[in-house]
Chain A
Amino acid sequence: MDLILAPLAYPFMVRALIASVIVGIVCGVVGSFVVLRGMTFLGDALAHSILPGVAIGYLLGRGAKGPMFWGAILAAILASLGIGAISKRTRLREDASIGIIFAGMLALGIAIISSVKNYAVDLAHILFGNVLAVSWGDLALIGGLGALVILTVAAFFKEFMVMAFDPVLASTLRIKAGILNYIFLVVISVTVVVSLQTVGVALAVALLITPAATAYLVASRLLTMMAISAAIGVVSGILGLYLSYYFGIASGASIVLVCTAFFLIALTLARSRRI
């Protein structure tokens, strides 16, 4: 019991746990659509594309977190709209336009950060997250944006579902797929930014994909898949933080490792059930 309660004596641990729970839920829900639509690469690219926004926010705010946050959201939205525009206007396939925007924005971000003196430390925090440094203000921001994401998904749930399952039906039902696709890209962007502080740019895609992919193996309805995925996200966040606390591992890495472990367990179970 002490093993569970002892870390809770530190307020930073409590805040970190709350952040992990919020991020687990939001990523679990949004990630389900990302997995079903095969948009993993896009999710990963968006996570990396926010670097210049974070860097500019960092410079303008002299290290304060608010501007970094909004800079990240702006960069992610610009990147997702840019990717959409390039693949629409040229004959390039979407993965190529994703790659171009992703690498370009990442390079821009590194260039900006490297102009600052002790950039290695800051860059590390952005790349790998620092959930233990979450403030109450950050939590309010994460919570508010997370709620917005969940509400948006609830509002367009059936439209997103049809677009994922049968795009042809979506267009014979005259669903405004173009606008909804952009809305969905913004939803992914905000989700990535929300999860940034827990796992960082490099691992954000893991929280989006791994719990949802795990749930996909066992669920037979979309809502069930989302619930399982969110639950795995939350449990991984909490377990990961405890592991990080007791073994001194980087928090982002330990959270993602727990997610991966869940996936491997589900894979084994699904295999043995089929045979």
Chain B
Amino acid sequence: MMPFACKGLEHRTGLPVLEVHGVTVRYDGVTALEGITFSLQKGDFVALVGPNGAGKSTLFKAIAGLIKPQEGEIKVYGYEPGGHICIAYIPQRSEVDWNFPATVADVVMMGRIAKLGPLLWPRKKDWEVVYKALKVVGLEEMANRPIRELSGGQQQKAFIARALAQEAELMLLDEPFNGIDAPSQAEILQILKELHHREVTIMLSTHDLEMASQHFDLVMLLNRQLLGFGCPEMVFTPQLLRQAYGGHIQFLQTPEGFRIVGDTCCGHGER
């Protein structure tokens, strides 16, 4: 669906960065996503929310070309995702072995591999890109530290730097705030906003509806089907939220809008 028209949000023209059309994904006959259709313009800043098992990670993996939908098609800049190296999928931190013998700079350099091509070792220019990326996320001091010494927030920043080194134009962040303390969350959000101003298209999944509504132009509400996509006040309506979360969510209607009191989700490890 196209985003609901929102006042104050200028309509961008031009070819969409991402077009998702009628995408359905099933795992062993269980439907994870059904008939998802939406498109993103260059520089969109989107929070993807939905209960556990809603298919958030699945949607990211399909967009990144890691899994192939049974139905529908996904186009990134007009082409199928399988050929692109401009998409960065930043997985949940738990999916990577943080004891791997590598420095922060080494990990960020991994993002450059596709640009380098086989047989070649990184050149001076590539290291410059790496250090620039580390500077953007504020980890330049940590460049030569082993990754096992990083805190959760720093790990997430290193991943964002890696996506920058990859020169990604579309970043998909899977639960980047899971298990990260509040100050680091704020810093990461600040970095992402900066990238947003540089016209990087960013989509991130989160359980935090309040953060989504406060900091993002666009929010997407998912529970296997796409229930709403647009500016927060249009999407986070009691009716749509109830549709997404069933009875597991409580919110207060206030004169300024509504406040989400809590949802009973928030485990980890959905696929």
Contacts and interface: CB of A to CB of B under 8 A. Distances in A.
A36 interface: yes
A216 interface: yes
Nearest to B116: A158
Contacts of B64: 172
A175 B115 CA distance: 11
Which 3 residue pairs spanning A and B have beta carbons closest together?
A220-B146, A173-B114, A225-B101
B101 A221 contact: yes
Main secondary structure of the interface of A (DSSP, over half): helix
B110 A166 contact: yes
A155 B95 CA distance: 27
A162 to B, nearest CB: 5
Interface in A133-180: 155-159, 161-162, 164-166, 168-169, 171-175
Contacts of A174: 82-85, 114
Contact of A166 (B85, B96, B101, B121): B96
B110 A224 contact: no
A179 to B, nearest CB: 10
Report the interface size class on chain B: 20 to 34
B27 interface: no
Contact of B100 (A159, A165, A224): A165
B113 interface: yes
17 contacts: A156-B118, A157-B121, A158-B121, A159-B113, A165-B107, A166-B110, A168-B91, A169-B162, A171-B65, A172-B88, A173-B85, A173-B111, A173-B166, A216-B101, A221-B101, A222-B101, A222-B106
A155 B121 CA distance: 8
Contacts of B121: 157-158
B102 interface: yes
A162 B113 contact: yes
Nearest to A165: B100
A128 B264 CA distance: 60
B113 A165 contact: no
A273 to B, nearest CB: 14
A165 B91 contact: no
Contacts of A175: 113-114
A173 B168 CA distance: 10
B89 A172 contact: yes
